[in-house]
C-alpha cells in the first residue's frame, strides 16, 4: 500500500507489499529516504512493532533531481497468519502499519512495545499514542511500576488494550452523540467498562491487574482530551492533552488536586495541577524524568499556602523536554527548552475554555465531562523566567480571553525586580521580627548574613531596604563575601553600586572599602585562609586558620548575628532529625546545616525553601523569629495576581479606553505604587496576625487543636505533610503550657483562610450590596477614576470579594474566630462572616488598625498587640450580638447605616459617662497602655475599646423605647454600677478555660450578664416612660424603679455583694448572682 508522508524531511515514500511465495506472516516494507539510517536506528522500531527483520535489500533511484536511497526490508510477524487471516481487514492492517511506521520515522510516534498493538489489536498509531499518554501519566503517579513494564503489560493484553481504546473513543469522540456528554454516551461507556472489568478476571498476575485497572481508572477520571483535535493541516497533532479529575483515581498520592492537565507528546511531557477552579502558579522546566509530577505536587501544595492571601488558590506546572541536545550545545539546549515549553503551554490551552464576550466557549472537538472552566493563569518559575511574553504570544494565538494576563510578569506587566516587591514584602516580616527583638531597623544598626548577591532581585533589593544594615557575610553559587566590621554607610553605597551594575557578582565589590580582614573568595578555591577579624566576626574558634569554601559557608550560616536574609535558591537549613535525602536538594548537601546550629535572632525568607518546615519549627522552638517562606515572599505572587485582575478589568472595559494599548500601558503603569502599597499591607496584616497568635499560642492551644482536626477532616490540612504536631505532641505541649510556634501557626493561618474561602464560595454571601465597596476597595483608585464601570462587571468579582472578606475577617479577628463562632452558635458560615464584617464597620475597626499600621515603627510591639487583642475581643462579642439579632439575609449596609454614626458619637462620650468601679477600671487601663508607650489619645481608645460593645445594647434599647442614645447610655452605666455588673464581667474573664466546655460556659455566663444588664435597663426605661419624667437624672429614674421591686432588689444587692467579696469567684457563685439579677427584670 503506497502513500506519501506528510512529515519527515528524510522520508520520501513507504510501501508495503507481499511477494507471491511469502508465508502468511511475512511481508516486505520498502522505505525511500534521502539518508540511509544505521541498522541500530533502523531495526529497533520494527522490533517494537513485534516484527522480526529477516533480510534487507538496498538500492538507489532518482526522484526528480534527488538521489533517493531505497531500503527494502523483509519482516516476519509472530502471528503465523497475520496476512492470511480472512477475518481481518487486510487493507486496514496494512494502512495502519504503514502509517505507524511513517509516524515513528517522522517523530510523531514513539517507539516502544505498545506499537505491537498496531499489529496485534489492529489499532492505529494514534490510538496507541492515547494509551502511551495514559501509561506515561500512570508512571508519574506511582513508583511501583516502570514505564517499560506498564507498556509491556498493555502490549501483552491486546484485547484489553483495544477495549480501553473503545472506552476512550466512546467517552471523547466528538463525532458521536452530537459532541456532548449525553446520558446515552455515558451508558455505552459504562457497558464497555463493565466488559473491560469482566475480562480482567482472565488476567492471572496481580501486578498486571493493578496496572490495567489503573488505565481504566485514568480514562474514567479524564474529563477532557485534545486527542480528537486536528492541526491546521488537518492531521492529528502528536500532542495529546488529558484533563484529569485526580480525586476519581484510587490510591493517588495525596493531596489530590481539584484538576490537572497532563500533556504528552514524543517530544515533551508535562503536568499542570491546581487546587481550585481559580488558581495560579508557575511553570517550571523540570529535570526529574521519573517523578516530576511528585515535584509539582509538593510545590503546588506549598503554593496553596502562599496563595491564601490572593484570589486564586495554588497551582503549579512542570514540563520535561525528552530529547535535549548535549548540555555543551547551549544554544540548542535553550532552543529545545523553549520550543517544548511552547508545546506544553499549547497543550494546556487545547483543553481550556475561552470567554467570548459574556459567554464561556469550550475548545473545538472536545467533549467536556466537567463544568465551564475558563481560568488558566501561569507564571514564570525555575528555568522559565524569561518566557512570560512567549507564553502570552501563545495565548494570543489561541484568541484566549486573558491575552497578556495569561502569564504575568511580561514586558507589559509589573517588573518585580524594578519594584523590589518580593524583597519589600519579605522585609515587612524582617521589620516585625526585629521590632519585637527591640531593634528598629529604620534607625538602629543590625548585623546580617545572607544568601545571594546584589545582582539578584530578592537579595539585592533586600540589602538596600535599610541604610543601617551591617552585612557581615554572604554567599551565592559563585563567591563568598566576608566583611567583618563594615562601615555601614560606605558598605551601603557600595551595595547600591553593585545593584546598578549589570550582571554583577561579589567579585565586583570594591575591595578597598572592605573592613580589615575582609574576604571575597571564589567557591572553587581549595582552601580559604581566615583573617583574625573574619574568625571573630563569624564566631569561630581562634585556632581555625583556614576552611574549605563549603566549611566557610556553613560557618556563615551558623554565625551569631541579628538576621539571616535568604535571597537565594536552595535549601540550606534542615531539622536535626532530617537527612539530606529528606530535603531533596542534593546540590546543597555539602553546605547545609541543622537548625540547632543556627545562632541568628531572626530569619527573613525572601527566597523559597531556604529552610525545611521542620527546620523552621525547630528554630522557632529555640527562640529564633521565623515565619515561613509562604508568608515572607508572598508579595511577588500577590503583585502578579493584581496584574492579572487589573488586566482582566481593562480588557472588560476596552470600550472605555480612549486610545488603544498606549493608554492601557500608561494606566497599568500608573497603578504601580497603589498595587505595591496594597500588597505590602497584606504582608503587614499577616505578620501582625501571626504576632498576635504567637503571643497567645499557649492559651489558645486547645482551640488550635480542634481547628487542626476540623481542617484535616475537610482536606485543608495534612498534619504530616504540613509538619504539624501529632495529637500526642499537642497534648504534651498543652500539659507543659506551650502552644504552636510561628511557622506552625503560619500553616494554620493559611489553611484557615483557604477553608473559609472554599466555604464561602458555596454560599450567596456576595449578594450583599455592601460588598460592592469591598470590590472597589481591592482595585487602585486610578482604575475607578479612569474606567468606572469595569470593576462592577469584573468576571472574577465574586472571587475577589470572597478573598478580601476572608482575609479581612481572619486578619482582624484571628485564625480561630470563624471556627469558634460556628462551633458555639451553630450559625452558617456566611452569616458568621457577615456578622464579623458588620462589627468591623460599625466600630470603625478598620480605621483604628490603619492607624496602628501607619505608626507601627514608632509604637512598641506589645502595645500594638494589646490594642489589637482588645479589638479581637470586641469583634468576637459584637459578631455574636449580630448573630443573635439578625436573620441570615440581613443587609450589612442597612445595619451599618443605622448604627455606625450613633456608635461613634456615643464612644466619644463614654469615658466621661462611666461611674464608680467602671471608671476606676478605665483609668487603670489608660495608665497600663501609657506604661507600654502609648500616646494619651490611643491609650484612652484602647482602654475603652472592648467596653464599647455595650453600645449595641444601648442603641437597641433607645430605638425600642424611643429614647435618646445618651440618656439610655447614662441609665445603662448607672444600673451596671449599682449591681457591680462590670466587676462580675471581669471575674468571668478570670474563670478557667482549660477545655472547650470551660470556654463555652464562660461565654454563656458573660452573655447572660450582658443580657441581664440590658433587661434591667429596659425595665427601668419602661417604668420611667409610664411616669412623667423621661428626662430625669438616671439616678432618680433608677431609684424610683428600685423602690417598686420590694425585697428583690435587696436580695440581689446582697447576693452580688457577697460574690464580689471573692477576688476570683467560681462559676457557680457568679451564676447565682446572675439569677438574682434576672429576677429583678421581672419585678415590674
Fold: same for 240-416 and 420-632: yes
Please tell me the predicted confidence (pLDDT) of residue 1083: 60
Share the mean pLDDT of the chain. Answer: 91
Is 60 exceeded by the pLDDT of residue 636? yes
Give 656's pLDDT tier (boundaries 50, 70, 90): low
Spatial CB neighbours of 765, under 8 Å, sequence gap ≥ 6: 771, 801, 802, 805, 830, 833, 834
pLDDT, position 160: 97
pLDDT of residue 197: 96
Backbone phi and psi for residue 1015, each to the nearest 5 degrees, phi listed first? -65, -40
Task: Single out the catalytic residue among 243, 301, 306, 316.
Answer: 316
Torsion angle (degrees, nearest 10) of CA 440, 445, 449, 450: 60
Q: What integer pLDDT is reported at residue 344 of this predicted model? A: 98
Which residues lie below 8 Å from residue 709, measured CB to CB, with a gap of 6+? none
Closest alpha carbon to 955 in 913, 909, 898: 898
pLDDT at 568 exceeding the cut of 60: yes
Name the nearest CA neighbour of 598 among 633, 544, 554, 630.
554
Per-residue pLDDT band at 1 (split at 50, 70, 90) = very low
Place of cell 505541649: 733
Give yes or no for residue 2 having a pLDDT over 50.
no
Q: What is the pLDDT of residue 859?
A: 94
Confidence of residue 710 (pLDDT cuts 50, 70, 90): very high
Cβ atoms < 10 Å from Cβ of 336: 18
pLDDT at 628 > cutoff 90: yes
Q: Indicate the domain borders of the chain.
A: 1-107, 240-416, 420-632, 659-849, 891-1084
240-416 is a CATH 3.40.50.10860 domain: yes
Top pLDDT among 20 and 530 is at 530
Grade residue 591 by pLDDT with cuts at 50, 70 and 90: very high
Q: How confident is the model at residue 1025 (pLDDT cuts 50, 70, 90)?
A: low
HEC readout, 468-500: CEEEEEEECCCEEEECCCCCHHHHHHHHHHHHH
Predicted local distance difference test score (pLDDT) of residue 544:
83
**pLDDT bucket at 9, cuts 50 / 70 / 90:** very low
DSSP code string of 209-269: HHHHHHHHHHHHHEEEE-TT-B-TTSSBPS-EEEEE-GGGSTTPPSSPPSEEEEEE-SSEE
The predicted-structure confidence for 806-859, as pLDDT tens digits, reads as follows 999 999 999 999 999 999 999 999 999 999 999 999 999 999 999 999 999 999
Rounded-to-integer distance, Cα 405 and Cα 797, Å: 16
3-state secondary structure 621-647: HCCCECCCHHHHCHHHHHHHHHHHHHH
DSSP SS3 for 396: helix
**So what's the pLDDT on residue 79?**
82
* Greatest mean pLDDT among 138-152, 337-351, 575-589: 337-351
Which helix H or strand E contains 566, and what residues bound it? strand 563-566
Return the H-helix or E-strand segment holding 46.
helix 39-48
Q: What is the mean pLDDT of residues 652-656?
A: 63
pLDDT for residue 984: 87
Strand 313-321 relative to strand 279-285, pairing: parallel
| DSSP states of 571-590 | --EE-TT--HHHHT-GGGTT
Across the range 375-400, mean pLDDT stands at 93
Tell me the pLDDT band of 792, cut-offs 50, 70 and 90: confident
Query: Is the pLDDT assigned to residue 1029 strictly greater than 70?
Result: no
Annotation marks residue 720 as catalytic:
no
The 3-state secondary structure of 643-700 reads HHHHHHHHHHCHHHCCCHHHHHHHHHHHCHHHHHHHHHHHHHHHHHHHHHHHHCHHHH
Q: Which tens digit of pLDDT belongs to each residue from 243-273?
A: 999 999 998 988 899 999 999 999 999 999 9
Residue 789 has a pLDDT of 80
pTM (two decimals): 0.88
DSSP tally for the chain: helices H, then strands E: 43, 24
pLDDT (average), residues 535-543: 92
What superfamily does domain 420-632 belong to in CATH?
Answer: NAD(P)-binding Rossmann-like Domain (3.40.50.720)
**pLDDT score at 802:** 96
At 975-1011, the pLDDT tens digits run: 888 889 888 888 888 888 777 788 888 888 888 888 8
With cut-offs at 50, 70 and 90, classify the pLDDT of residue 659: very low
With CA atoms as reference, report the closest residue to 296 among 330, 260, 321, 266.
Answer: 260
Distance CA 715, CA 539 (A): 46
Whether the predicted pLDDT of 6 surpasses 50: no
User: Does residue 662 register a pLDDT over 50?
Assistant: no
Amino acid at each position: 500500500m503506497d502513500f506519501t508522508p506528510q512529515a519527515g524531511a528524510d522520508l520520501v515514500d513507504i510501501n508495503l507489499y507481499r511477494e507471491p511465495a511469502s508465508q502468511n506472516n511475512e511481508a516486505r516494507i520498502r522505505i525511500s529516504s534521502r539518508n540511509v539510517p544505521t541498522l541500530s536506528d533502523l531495526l529497533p522500531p520494527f522490533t517494537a512493532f513485534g516484527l522480526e527483520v529477516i533480510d534487507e535489500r538496498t538500492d538507489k533511484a532518482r526522484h526528480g533531481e534527488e538521489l533517493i536511497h531505497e531500503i527494502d526490508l523483509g519482516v516476519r510477524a509472530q502471528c503465523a497468519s497475520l496476512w492470511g487471516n480472512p477475518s481481518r481487514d487486510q487493507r486496514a492492517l496494512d494502512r495502519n502499519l504503514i502509517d505507524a511506521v511513517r509516524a515513528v520515522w517522522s517523530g510523531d510516534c514513539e517507539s516502544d512495545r505498545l506499537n505491537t498493538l498496531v499489529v496485534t489489536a489492529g489499532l492505529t498509531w494514534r490510538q496507541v499514542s492515547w494509551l502511551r499518554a495514559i501509561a506515561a501519566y500512570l508512571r508519574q503517579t506511582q513508583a511501583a511500576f516502570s514505564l517499560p513494564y506498564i507498556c509491556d503489560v498493555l502490549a501483552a493484553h491486546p484485547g484489553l488494550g483495544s477495549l480501553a481504546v473503545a472506552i476512550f473513543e466512546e467517552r471523547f469522540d466528538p463525532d458521536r452523540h452530537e459532541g456532548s456528554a449525553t446520558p446515552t454516551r455515558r451508558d455505552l461507556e459504562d457497558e464497555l467498562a463493565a466488559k473491560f472489568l469482566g475480562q480482567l478476571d482472565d488476567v492471572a498476575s496481580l501486578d498486571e491487574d493493578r496496572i490495567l485497572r489503573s488505565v481504566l481508572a485514568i480514562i474514567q477520571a479524564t474529563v477532557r482530551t485534545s486527542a480528537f483535535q486536528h492541526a491546521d493541516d488537518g492531521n492529528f497533532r502528536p500532542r495529546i492533552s488529558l484533563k484529569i479529575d485526580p480525586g476519581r483515581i484510587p490510591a493517588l498520592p495525596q493531596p489530590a488536586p481539584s484538576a490537572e492537565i497532563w500533556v504528552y507528546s514524543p517530544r515533551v511531557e508535562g503536568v499542570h495541577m491546581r487546587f481550585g477552579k481559580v488558581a495560579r502558579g508557575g511553570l517550571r522546566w523540570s529535570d526529574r524524568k521519573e517523578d516530576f509530577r511528585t515535584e509539582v505536587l509538593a510545590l503546588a501544595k506549598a503554593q496553596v499556602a502562599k496563595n491564601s492571601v490572593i484570589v486564586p488558590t495554588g497551582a503549579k506546572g512542570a514540563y520535561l523536554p525528552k530529547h535535549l541536545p548535549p548540555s555543551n550545545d547551549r544554544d540548542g539546549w535553550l532552543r529545545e527548552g523553549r520550543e517544548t515549553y511552547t508545546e506544553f503551554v499549547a497543550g494546556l490551552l487545547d483543553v481550556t475554555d475561552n470567554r467570548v464576550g459574556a459567554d464561556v466557549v469550550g475548545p473545538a472537538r472536545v467533549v467536556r465531562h466537567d463544568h465551564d472552566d475558563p481560568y488558566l493563569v501561569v507564571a514564570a518559575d525555575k528555568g522559565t523566567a524569561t518566557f512570560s511574553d512567549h507564553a502570552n504570544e501563545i495565548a494570543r494565538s489561541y484568541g484566549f480571553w486573558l491575552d497578556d494576563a495569561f502569564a504575568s510578569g511580561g514586558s507589559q506587566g509589573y517588573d518585580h525586580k524594578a519594584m523590589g516587591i518580593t524583597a519589600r514584602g519579605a522585609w515587612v516580616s524582617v521589620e516585625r521580627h526585629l521590632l519585637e527583638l527591640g531593634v528598629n531597623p529604620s534607625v538602629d544598626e543590625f548585623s546580617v548574613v545572607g544568601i545571594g548577591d546584589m545582582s539578584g532581585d530578592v537579595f539585592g533589593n533586600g540589602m538596600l531596604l535599610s541604610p543601617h544594615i551591617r552585612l557581615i557575610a554572604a554567599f551565592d553559587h559563585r563567591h563568598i563575601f566576608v566583611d567583618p566590621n563594615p562601615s555601614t554607610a560606605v558598605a551601603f553605597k557600595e551595595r547600591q553600586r553593585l545593584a546598578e551594575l549589570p550582571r554583577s557578582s561579589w567579585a565586583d565589590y570594591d575591595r578597598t572599602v572592605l573592613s580589615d580582614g575582609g574576604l571575597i573568595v571564589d567557591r572553587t578555591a581549595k582552601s580559604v585562609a581566615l583573617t583574625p577579624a573574619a574568625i571573630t566576626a563569624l564566631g569561630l574558634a581562634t585556632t581555625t586558620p583556614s576552611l574549605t569554601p563549603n566549611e566557610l559557608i556553613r560557618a556563615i550560616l551558623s554565625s551569631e548575628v541579628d538576621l539571616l536574609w535568604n535571597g537565594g535558591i536552595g535549601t540550606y537549613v534542615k531539622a536535626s532529625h532530617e537527612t539530606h535525602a529528606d530535603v531533596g536538594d542534593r546540590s546543597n548537601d555539602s553546605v547545609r546545616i541543622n537548625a540547632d546550629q543556627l545562632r541568628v535572632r531572626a530569619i527573613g525568607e525572601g527566597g523559597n525553601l531556604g529552610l525545611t518546615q521542620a527546620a523552621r519549627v525547630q528554630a522557632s522552638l529555640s527562640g529564633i523569629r521565623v515565619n515561613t517562606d509562604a508568608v515572607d515572599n508572598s508579595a511577588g505572587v500577590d503583585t502578579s495576581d493584581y496584574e492579572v485582575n487589573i488586566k482582566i478589568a481593562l480588557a472588560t472595559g476596552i470600550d472605555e479606553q480612549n486610545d488603544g494599548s498606549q493608554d492601557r500601558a500608561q494606566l497599568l503603569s500608573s497603578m504601580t505604587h497603589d498595587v505595591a502599597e496594597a500588597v505590602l499591607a497584606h504582608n503587614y496584616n499577616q505578620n501582625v496576625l501571626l504576632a498576635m497568635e504567637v503571643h497567645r499560642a499557649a492559651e489558645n492551644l486547645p482551640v488550635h487543636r480542634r481547628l487542626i482536626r476540623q481542617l484535616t477532616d475537610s482536606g485543608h490540612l495534612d498534619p504530616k505533610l504540613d509538619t504539624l504536631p501529632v495529637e500526642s505532641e499537642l497534648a504534651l505541649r498543652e500539659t507543659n503550657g506551650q502552644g504552636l510556634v510561628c511557622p506552625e501557626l503560619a500553616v494554620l493561618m493559611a489553611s484557615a483562610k483557604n477553608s473559609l474561602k472554599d466555604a464561602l464560595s458555596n454560599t450567596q454571601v456576595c449578594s450583599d450590596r455592601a460588598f460592592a465597596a469591598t470590590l472597589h476597595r481591592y482595585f487602585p483608585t486610578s482604575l475607578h477614576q479612569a474606567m468606572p464601570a469595569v470593576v462592577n462587571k469584573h468576571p472574577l468579582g465574586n472571587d475577589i470579594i470572597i478573598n478580601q472578606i476572608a482575609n479581612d475577617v481572619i486578619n482582624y479577628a484571628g485564625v480561630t474566630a470563624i471556627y469558634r463562632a460556628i462551633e458555639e452558635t451553630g450559625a452558617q458560615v456566611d452569616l458568621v462572616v457577615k456578622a464579623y464584617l458588620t462589627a468591623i464597620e460599625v466600630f470603625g475597626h478598620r480605621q483604628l488598625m490603619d492607624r496602628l499600621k501607619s505608626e507601627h515603627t514608632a509604637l512598641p510591639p506589645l502595645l500594638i498587640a494589646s490594642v489589637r487583642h482588645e479589638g479581637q475581643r470586641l469583634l468576637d462579642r459584637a459578631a455574636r450580638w449580630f448573630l443573635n439579632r439578625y436573620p441570615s439575609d440581613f443587609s450589612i449596609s442597612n445595619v451599618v447605616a443605622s448604627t455606625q454614626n450613633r456608635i461613634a458619637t456615643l464612644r466619644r462620650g463614654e469615658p466621661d459617662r462611666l461611674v464608680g468601679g467602671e471608671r476606676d477600671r478605665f483609668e487603670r487601663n489608660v495608665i497600663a497602655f501609657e506604661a507600654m508607650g502609648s500616646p494619651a489619645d490611643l491609650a484612652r481608645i484602647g482602654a475603652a475599646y472592648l467596653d464599647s460593645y455595650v453600645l449595641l445594647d444601648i442603641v437597641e434599647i433607645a430605638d425600642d423605647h424611643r429614647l435618646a442614645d445618651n440618656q439610655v447610655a447614662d441609665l445603662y452605666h448607672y444600673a451596671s454600677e449599682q449591681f457591680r455588673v462590670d466587676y462580675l464581667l471581669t471575674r468571668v474573664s478570670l474563670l478557667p478555660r482549660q477545655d472547650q466546655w470551660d470556654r463555652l460556659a464562660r461565654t454563656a455566663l458573660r452573655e447572660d450578664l450582658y443580657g441581664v444588664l440590658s433587661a434591667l435597663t429596659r425595665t427601668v426605661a419602661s417604668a420611667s416612660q409610664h411616669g412623667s419624667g423621661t428626662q430625669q437624672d438616671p439616678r432618680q429614674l433608677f431609684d424610683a424603679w428600685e423602690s417598686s421591686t420590694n425585697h428583690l432588689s435587696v436580695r440581689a444587692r446582697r447576693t452580688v455583694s457577697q460574690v464580689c467579696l471573692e477576688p476570683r469567684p467560681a462559676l457557680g457563685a457568679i451564676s447565682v448572682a446572675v439569677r438574682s439579677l434576672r429576677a429583678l427584670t421581672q419585678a415590674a
